[in-house]
Amino acid sequence: NAGVTQTPKFQVLKTGQSMTLQCAQDMNHEYMSWYRQDPGMGLRLIHYSVGAGITDQGEVPNGYNVSRSTTEDFPLRLLSAAPSQTSVYFCASTLLGIQYFGAGTRLSVL
């Protein structure tokens, strides 16, 4: 049972580049979410989805897009990376109020 799988684990981008952070879960959970973790600020919600075809914005959505075409996958897209998006990104799926986190992606934008 893989749980929540995030790829890549590390990524370095140049300002203005685009990329997609992948997230997949094999637990058939409807609710999935993306967080970013910055020093001294805890985890902040970027976007979330309550099921396939349904997404909504969280606390810090600017600069990020998401889609949910299947229950399993919830990719996070950076359209034009900025240094302010340097962070650790976590994907999570939720069942019965308990969140299951992926291992995180450390992203640096130069």
Binding site for another protein (CB under 8 A): 33, 35, 40-45, 48, 58, 88, 90, 92, 94, 97-99, 101, 103-104, 106
> Which amino acid, one-letter code, is at 6?
Q
Minimum gap (Å) between residue 90 Cβ and another protein:
6
- For residues 24 and 5, the answer to whether their CB atoms sit within 8 Å is yes
In the complex with another protein, the residue whose CB is nearer, 48 or 64, is 48
In the complex with another protein, the residue whose CB is nearer, 16 or 51, is 51
CB neighbour class for 53 (10 Å; exposed up to 12, middle 13-18, buried from 19) = exposed
Return d(Cα 11, Cα 53) in angstroms, integer: 28
In the complex with another protein, the residue whose CB is nearer, 17 or 52, is 52
In the complex with another protein, the residue whose CB is nearer, 17 or 43, is 43
Residue 9 makes CB contacts below 8 A (sequence gap 6+) with 103, 104, 105, 106
Minimum gap (Å) between residue 73 Cβ and another protein:
20
Provide the β-strand partners of residue 47: 34, 57
Minimum gap (Å) between residue 70 Cβ and another protein:
22
Minimum gap (Å) between residue 16 Cβ and another protein:
27
